[in-house]
């Protein structure tokens, strides 16, 4: 081609001269409806966008850009026009090269910059496109493999946008192997606002999920000849925007026109955005919201021989069925077009062991129910995966046909045992499949079963006298395995009790001897044996898995007038008469985890170096069979006061009983008559009689029936076990708690539920979180004087409508807390075993702990060692030890005050960052103030939402300025190169 310069053109004879506000081009987009719409983009809009995205996407005069996007795709405009504006070279392959061998075309044209959809990107290899230096992924959410497979060869960028925003709206530059595939980066050329998904008149709190609105000069003019759709998508400034501009004196400098993307996003702590999904295409599988790209990633990671086959996961509703199932489509080449037997054999080759590997990586609901082979994955004209075509293909098959196409089914093995044949008939009835289509090696979940049909199978089995649970079905889905589960795992009552509460027929002497042996003491020293509460069991189990959990060291600096000898004797007096301080926990055959009261007492430890003692003490094992309380006196230099260290496991004390015990020591030290404590065994008897009754099971079943909570926060990977390592503290003052019978604790619970709903995009709010309750409201005589841990953790499920009256929601929450009291001691371990809904409801990752107001705790703290002072580093030590009590991603401890609240949040920094946790605390403060200040009349829950002052300040920093409009035409910028 001959040399050519735009400057050689003579514009003097032009009959019309384009202006910046003239239309530059129209790009057709189908959107989510499938009906094409022409988006009109003006010159100034695209020019403004080019200057914003070109540098961030590494366009330069040295760029040789592969023009691979379909001309129906807005990205083709960027590949051509942006390249020309920066002075680069547009490399245009032929249509056949684009379709059949894009890699060869890239090599021939020496392209070093390319944009792909993730779907089309997966069919090329770096070795075939070695000239590439920059790859931009857009149009779809990439998978982790899309980034990691190329990270050592090219810089991978992620571009997010739409035709309505002149192609590019946000850019994530140079993403790495540890970047979230959903990261779309920071805004480019415009400003992003996150609003409530169903109400753009309200901003969403930072970190909450909401719809992305784009403001700025990059917006298109609208849809060609469609004023209604233009007005619907391109909205005038909401009221909150006007208030924002007035607050920061920007009224005259911003237009405020915004485009509603329909995409759900959330802010990261640094102002970047994470794509969550489309408002109208959220995928739910067995009640759980699922990111299909994550399923695809784990399937690819699990394929036999580390195969790199194209994989697409999609939800499909088989013909004649009402229940959608998760199907994985795998492109295996031409063999997919051969006979069903040959296809099954090919799939079996790639899928050998996949299900077992998936079970180790992901929850059960993310394991596909079926696998379908294809020669290639169908694509749309714009290079994206044609998911609609995949849904239609899967939906054309009946459940029976879907089952016939599954691998490992070439030869059905008939059931042989009585239980296999009995289950075989039940499967046929529940799944509506012909018996000759079901084999003994089939998986219930792969031939059409799901959580709903699992419940139906449990009911059908019960009618025939079989003991089967939903958990059994999901853990042993194959018919032959399930038959063994039915036979080998009948329901067994929880082992309970000691001497007077021993299991019927238990030999007391034998039980005593077993407990003594496990404690390493003479059997004559065993005074009593009795069952643990469910929470004690859980704590010891966690300590066994993670030594040090639920163990804390309390340090007291003794006053000048404290006689250490007398102080030690006071402790011995209390230890001798209060069994809980001499209690150990062991696992006794047939009894399970039980508490063992051991007579006698070990010596107080002594040391001259506090820090050395604390470190050495932490290395001492505290768990099954060991003493669960240790005591020490540390005498430092003569200029320092002695220090008392009490190391104790949380399975012995809680926030209520510790003051009771300290008061006992105070009274013994001063020679006073000690208050009479009520034996803890009375509470245990109550738990045994009421904790796991049929009524309790029915209560929790009704509470959690149909629950579909979205996990918050999301864990880094399936199977990840959180461990708190950071603490954020937040004080809220000036709160006017309701005076209409609604308690402060109720307000906190309701506010926390609303907060979770906003962070999980719950349009019809249905949230579940954990709550630790005192257990002192149980109908047990003398429970307030029992020196033992009565606390319990329960799942709290709250549902409502955003249009509900706030006062009605508060009354609902308070009534629920009251009704729950009788069933608090069932224990999470037992609740989760009720059914699949209960199991799901107990998988919460946030725990709420509400401490009563100081005046309510004062009666338990009167005259507690008045001459003992806490060390100056109390808060640091308490923060460190609070982490040992938290096995959840987030635990919010709220200590109520007369006119305020202290919030302490312990969290796993691998799950949430400090700034995100601080925003949660600010968000909670905002909600508490709104609830408490709107008590004079009816107000909808929706009307207390919004953002607090801290969020507004952060938004001002991020969105305070919108990039200026570039009043130029596209051809003018090209001509300047």
Assess contact for 627 and 600: CB atoms under 8 A: no
**What is the pLDDT confidence band of residue 858, given thresholds at 50, 70 and 90?**
very low
Q: Give the separation between CA 541 and CA 520, rounded to whole angstroms.
A: 20
**What is the pLDDT confidence band of residue 762, given thresholds at 50, 70 and 90?**
low
pLDDT (mean) for 826-850: 90
In this structure, what token pair is assigned to residue 189? Answer: 């050329």
Assess contact for 956 and 248: CB atoms under 8 A: yes
Name the CATH topology of 418-488: 1.10.1200
- Print the SS3 string covering 620-650: CCCCCCCCCEEEEEECCCCCCCCEEEEEEEC
Tell me the pLDDT tens digit for each residue of 576-594. Answer: 999 999 999 999 888 889 9
Exposure string of 442-461, with b = 16+ CB inside 10 Å and e = fewer, is bbbbbbbbbbebbbebbebb
Q: Give the separation between CA 188 and CA 181, rounded to whole angstroms.
A: 19
In what order do the strands lie in the sheet containing 629-634?
605-607, 629-634, 643-649, 551-558, 868-869
Count CB neighbours of 926 within 10 A: 22
In this structure, what token pair is assigned to residue 928? Answer: 């508490």
Residues whose CB falls within 8 Å of the CB of residue 271, separated by 6 or more in sequence, listed in order: 186, 957, 958
CATH of domain 288-404: 3.30.300.30
Assess contact for 701 and 831: CB atoms under 8 A: no
**What is the pLDDT confidence band of residue 318, given thresholds at 50, 70 and 90?**
confident
Q: Where are the domains of the chain?
A: 6-278, 288-404, 418-488, 499-683, 706-716+724-778+791-856+874-947
Given a cut of 70, whether residue 862 has pLDDT beyond it is: no
Q: How far is CA 939 from CA 68, 90, 251, 774, in A?
A: 55, 59, 30, 32
What pLDDT, on the 0 to 100 scale, is given for residue 444? 83
Assess contact for 195 and 265: CB atoms under 8 A: no
**What is the pLDDT confidence band of residue 317, given thresholds at 50, 70 and 90?**
confident
Q: Give the separation between CA 923 and CA 931, rounded to whole angstroms.
A: 12
What is the pLDDT of the chain when averaged over all its residues? 82
pLDDT (mean) for 770-777: 84
What pLDDT, on the 0 to 100 scale, is given for residue 289? 59
pLDDT (mean) for 795-817: 87
What pLDDT, on the 0 to 100 scale, is given for residue 864? 35
**What is the pLDDT confidence band of residue 885, given thresholds at 50, 70 and 90?**
low
Assess contact for 656 and 860: CB atoms under 8 A: yes
Tell me the pLDDT tens digit for each residue of 152-203. Answer: 788 899 999 999 999 999 999 988 777 778 899 999 999 999 998 878 888 8
Tell me the pLDDT tens digit for each residue of 531-549. Answer: 999 889 988 988 888 888 8
Assess contact for 484 and 503: CB atoms under 8 A: no
What pLDDT, on the 0 to 100 scale, is given for residue 770? 94
What pLDDT, on the 0 to 100 scale, is given for residue 584? 94
Query: What Rg value do the Cα atoms of the chain yield, rounded?
Result: 33
pLDDT (mean) for 57-73: 88
What pLDDT, on the 0 to 100 scale, is given for residue 490? 46
CATH superfamily for domain 6-278: ANL, N-terminal domain (3.40.50.12780)
pTM: 0.63
Q: What is the DSSP string of 54-100?
A: HHHTT--TT-EEE--S-TTSTHHHIIIIIHHHHT-EEE---HHHHHH
Assess contact for 596 and 583: CB atoms under 8 A: yes
Assess contact for 738 and 905: CB atoms under 8 A: no
Per DSSP, the three-state class of 825 is: helix
The residue assigned the tokens 């998911």 is 387
Range with lowest mean pLDDT among 438-447, 483-492, 722-731: 483-492
Which is more confident, 250 or 816? 816
In this structure, what token pair is assigned to residue 623? Answer: 């768990």
**What is the pLDDT confidence band of residue 1, given thresholds at 50, 70 and 90?**
very low
Q: Give the separation between CA 69 and CA 95, rounded to whole angstroms.
A: 11
Which is more confident, 106 or 762? 106
The residues facing 553 across adjacent strands are: 647
Assess contact for 191 and 271: CB atoms under 8 A: no
Residues whose CB falls within 8 Å of the CB of residue 858, separated by 6 or more in sequence, listed in order: none
pLDDT (mean) for 343-360: 79
Of residues 619, 621, 623, the one with CA closest to residue 539: 623
Range with lowest mean pLDDT among 26-30, 154-158, 491-495, 630-634: 491-495
In this structure, what token pair is assigned to residue 847? Answer: 């725990």
Q: How far is CA 3 from CA 10, 64, 66, 79, 976, in A?
A: 17, 17, 21, 21, 16
Given a cut of 60, whether residue 912 has pLDDT beyond it is: yes
**What is the pLDDT confidence band of residue 969, given thresholds at 50, 70 and 90?**
very high
**What is the pLDDT confidence band of residue 630, given thresholds at 50, 70 and 90?**
very high
Of residues 816, 812, 810, 764, the one with CA closest to residue 930: 810
CA atoms within 13 A on the CB side of 657: 26
Which is more confident, 281 or 681? 681
Among 50-59, 111-120, 452-461, 885-894, top mean pLDDT goes to 50-59
Assess contact for 196 and 281: CB atoms under 8 A: no
Assess contact for 279 and 262: CB atoms under 8 A: yes
What pLDDT, on the 0 to 100 scale, is given for residue 258? 94
What pLDDT, on the 0 to 100 scale, is given for residue 285? 62
Assess contact for 424 and 434: CB atoms under 8 A: no
For 499-683, the fitting CATH number among 3.30.365.10, 3.40.50.300, 1.10.10.10, 3.30.559.10 is: 3.30.559.10
Tell me the pLDDT tens digit for each residue of 939-957. Answer: 677 776 767 777 888 888 8
Assess contact for 38 and 28: CB atoms under 8 A: yes
What pLDDT, on the 0 to 100 scale, is given for residue 252? 57
What pLDDT, on the 0 to 100 scale, is given for residue 448? 66
Per DSSP, the three-state class of 467 is: coil
Element (H, E) at 792: strand 792-799
Q: How far is CA 830 from CA 205, 331, 701, 783, in A?
A: 36, 43, 11, 23
222-223 and 37-42 beta bridge pairing = antiparallel
Q: What is the DSSP string of 887-920?
A: -SSEEEEEEE-SSEEEEEEEE-TTTS-HHHHHHH
Assess contact for 410 and 343: CB atoms under 8 A: no
Q: Give the separation between CA 512 and CA 535, rounded to whole angstroms.
A: 23
Range with lowest mean pLDDT among 14-18, 346-350, 432-436: 14-18
Tell me the pLDDT tens digit for each residue of 125-156. Answer: 877 888 899 999 988 888 777 787 787 788 89
**Exposed (0-12), middle (13-18) or buried (19+): which is 513, by Cβ within 10 Å?**
middle
**What is the pLDDT confidence band of residue 875, given thresholds at 50, 70 and 90?**
very low
The second-level CATH assignment, the architecture, of 706-716+724-778+791-856+874-947 is 2-Layer Sandwich (3.30)
Per DSSP, the three-state class of 836 is: helix
In this structure, what token pair is assigned to residue 49? Answer: 């966008």
CA atoms within 13 A on the CB side of 790: 27
526-531 and 592-598 beta bridge pairing = antiparallel
What pLDDT, on the 0 to 100 scale, is given for residue 781? 67
Assess contact for 364 and 400: CB atoms under 8 A: no
Are 418-488 and 706-716+724-778+791-856+874-947 the same fold in CATH? Answer: no
Given a cut of 90, whether residue 433 has pLDDT beyond it is: no
What pLDDT, on the 0 to 100 scale, is given for residue 283? 63
Percentage of residues of the chain with pLDDT beyond 90: 25
Tell me the pLDDT tens digit for each residue of 225-247. Answer: 999 999 999 999 888 888 888 77
Assess contact for 748 and 927: CB atoms under 8 A: no
């Amino acid at each position: 081609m001959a040399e050519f310069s735009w400057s050689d053109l003579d514009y003097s004879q032009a009959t019309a001269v384009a202006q910046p506000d003239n239309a530059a081009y129209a790009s057709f987009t189908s959107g989510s409806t499938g009906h094409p719409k022409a988006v009109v983009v003006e010159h100034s809009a695209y020019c403004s966008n080019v200057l914003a995205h070109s540098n961030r996407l590494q366009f330069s005069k040295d760029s040789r850009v592969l023009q691979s996007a379909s001309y129906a795709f807005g990205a083709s405009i960027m590949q051509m026009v942006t390249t020309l504006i920066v002075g680069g070279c547009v490399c245009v392959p032929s249509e056949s090269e684009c379709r059949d061998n894009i890699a060869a075309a890239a090599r021939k044209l020496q392209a070093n910059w390319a944009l792909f959809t993730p779907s089309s990107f997966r069919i090329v290899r770096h070795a075939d496109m070695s000239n590439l230096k920059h790859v931009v992924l857009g149009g779809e959410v990439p998978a982790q493999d899309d980034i990691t497979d190329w990270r050592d060869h090219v810089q991978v960028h992620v571009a997010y946008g739409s035709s309505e925003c002149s192609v590019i709206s946000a850019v994530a530059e140079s993403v790495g192997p540890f970047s979230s595939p959903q990261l779309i980066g920071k805004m480019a050329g415009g400003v992003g606002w996150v609003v409530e998904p169903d109400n753009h008149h309200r901003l969403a709190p930072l970190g909450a999920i909401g719809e992305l609105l784009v403001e700025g000069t990059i917006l298109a003019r609208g849809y060609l000849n469609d004023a209604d759709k233009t007005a619907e998508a391109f909205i005038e400034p909401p009221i909150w925007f006007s208030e924002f501009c007035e607050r920061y004196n920007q009224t005259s400098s911003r237009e405020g026109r915004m485009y509603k993307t329909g995409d759900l996003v959330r802010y990261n702590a640094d102002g970047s955005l994470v794509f969550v999904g489309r408002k109208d295409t959220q995928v739910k599988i067995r009640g759980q919201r699922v990111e299909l790209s994550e399923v695809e990633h784990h399937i690819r990671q699990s394929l036999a021989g580390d195969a790199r086959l194209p994989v697409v996961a999609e939800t499909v509703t088989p013909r004649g069925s009402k229940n959608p199932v998760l199907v994985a489509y795998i492109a295996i080449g031409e063999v997919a077009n051969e006979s069903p037997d040959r296809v099954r054999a090919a799939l079996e080759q790639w899928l050998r062991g996949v299900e077992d590997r998936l079970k180790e990586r992901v929850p059960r609901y993310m394991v596909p129910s079926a696998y379908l082979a294809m020669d290639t994955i169908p694509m749309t004209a714009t290079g994206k995966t044609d998911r609609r075509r995949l849904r239609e293909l899967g939906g054309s098959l009946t459940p029976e046909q879907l089952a016939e196409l599954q691998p490992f089914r070439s030869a059905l093995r008939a059931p042989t045992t009585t239980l296999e044949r009995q289950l075989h008939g039940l499967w046929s009835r529940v799944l509506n499949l012909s018996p000759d289509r079901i084999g003994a090696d089939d998986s219930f979940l792969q031939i059409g079963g799901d959580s709903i049909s699992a419940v139906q199978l449990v009911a059908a089995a019960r009618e025939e006298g079989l003991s089967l649970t939903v958990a059994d079905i999901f853990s042993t889905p194959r018919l032959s395995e399930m038959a063994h589960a039915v036979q080998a795992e009948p329901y067994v009552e929880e082992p309970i009790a000691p001497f007077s509460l021993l299991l019927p027929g238990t030999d007391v002497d034998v039980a005593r001897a077993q407990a003594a042996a496990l404690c390493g003491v003479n059997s004559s020293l065993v005074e009593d044996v009795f069952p643990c509460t469910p929470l004690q069991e859980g704590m010891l189990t966690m300590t066994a898995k993670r030594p040090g959990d639920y163990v804390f060291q309390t340090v007291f600096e003794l006053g000048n007038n404290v006689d250490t000898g007398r102080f030690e004797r006071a402790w011995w007096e209390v230890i001798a008469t209060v069994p809980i301080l001499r209690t150990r926990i062991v696992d006794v055959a047939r009894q399970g985890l039980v508490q063992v009261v051991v007579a006698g007492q070990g010596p107080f430890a002594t040391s001259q170096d506090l820090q050395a003692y604390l470190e050495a003490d932490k290395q001492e094992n505290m768990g099954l069979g060991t003493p669960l309380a240790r005591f020490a006196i540390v005498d430092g230099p003569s200029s320092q006061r002695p220090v008392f260290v009490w190391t104790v496991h949380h399975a012995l004390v809680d926030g209520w009983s510790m003051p009771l015990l300290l008061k006992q020591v105070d009274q013994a030290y001063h020679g006073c008559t000690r208050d009479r404590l009520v034996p803890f065994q009375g509470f245990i008897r109550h738990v045994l009689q009421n904790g796991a009754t049929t009524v309790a099971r029915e209560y929790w079943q009704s509470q959690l029936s149909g629950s579909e909570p979205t996990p918050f926060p999301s864990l880094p990977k399936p199977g990840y076990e959180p461990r708190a390592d950071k603490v954020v503290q937040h004080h809220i003052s000036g709160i006017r708690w309701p005076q209409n019978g609604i308690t402060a604790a109720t307000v906190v619970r309701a506010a926390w539920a609303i907060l979770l709903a906003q962070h999980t995009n719950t349009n019809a709010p249905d949230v579940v979180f954990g709550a630790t309750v005192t257990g002192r409201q149980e109908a047990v005589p003398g429970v307030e004087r029992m020196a033992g841990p009565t606390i319990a953790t329960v799942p709290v499920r709250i549902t409502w409508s955003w249009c509900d009256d706030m006062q009605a929601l508060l009354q609902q929450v308070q009534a629920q807390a009251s009704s729950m009291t009788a069933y608090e001691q069932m224990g999470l371990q037992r609740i989760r075993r009720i059914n699949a809904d209960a199991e799901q409801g107990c998988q919460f990752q946030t725990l709420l702990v509400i401490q009563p107001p100081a005046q309510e705790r004062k009666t338990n703290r009167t005259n507690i060692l008045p001459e003992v002072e806490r060390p100056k580093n109390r808060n640091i030590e308490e923060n460190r030890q609070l982490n040992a009590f938290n096995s959840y991603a987030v635990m919010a401890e709220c200590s109520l005050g007369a006119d305020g609240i202290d919030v302490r949040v312990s969290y796993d920094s691998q799950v949430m960052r400090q700034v995100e946790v601080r925003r949660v605390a600010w968000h909670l403060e905002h909600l508490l103030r709104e609830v408490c200040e709107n008590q004079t009349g009816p107000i909808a829950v929706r009307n207390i939402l919004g953002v607090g002052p801290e969020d507004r300040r952060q938004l001002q920093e991020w969105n305070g300025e919108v990039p200026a409009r570039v009043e130029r035409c596209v051809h003018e910028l090209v001509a300047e190169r």
